[in-house]
Structures are given as C-alpha cells and as structure tokens.
Amino acid sequence: MKQLGVSLVTVVAVVSILLAVATVWLFLTNPMTVANAVNEGDVTPLIRNLADAIFAALSGLLKYL
C-alpha cells in the first residue's frame, strides 16, 4: 500500500510540473491567446494550446527513445 501511495504522489507531481511548464511556455510564446482567454473568459483556446504544447513535448521526447 505504501508503494502505491508513493507512485500516485509521483504521478500527480509529474503531471503538475508538466502542466506548469507548459503554461509558462504558453505565456511566453503565445501571450495573445492567454490575454484573449483572460479577457473573454473563454479558456478553450488556452486549453487547446496547452494540449498542443504538451503533445509536441511528449512527441519530441519519444523521438529520442
């Protein structure tokens, strides 16, 4: 049970770090999307760009494996 708890905490930490890095990257590379999402209250473009950033990072990582 202890190993499962540690594994679950590790997975949550990795996902949180990945989302944080992708959000910062999006703020720096595509500030207009972030500004429009905040201004209009519609987070769909923001989520779409975050998903694209995470997918690009993972696909780039998998190329090396």
Instruction: State pLDDT tens for residues 28-37.
Output: 888 887 788 7
| DSSP per-residue string spanning the chain | -HHHHHHHHHHHHHHHHHHHHHHHHHHHH-HHHHHHHHHH---HHHHHHHHHHHHHHHHHHHHH-
What is the model's pLDDT at position 11? 84
Question: 11 or 65: which carries more pLDDT confidence?
Answer: 11
Q: How sure is the predictor about 61, in pLDDT bands with cuts at 50, 70 and 90? A: confident
Model confidence, pTM: 0.62
Distance CA 34, CA 32 (A): 5
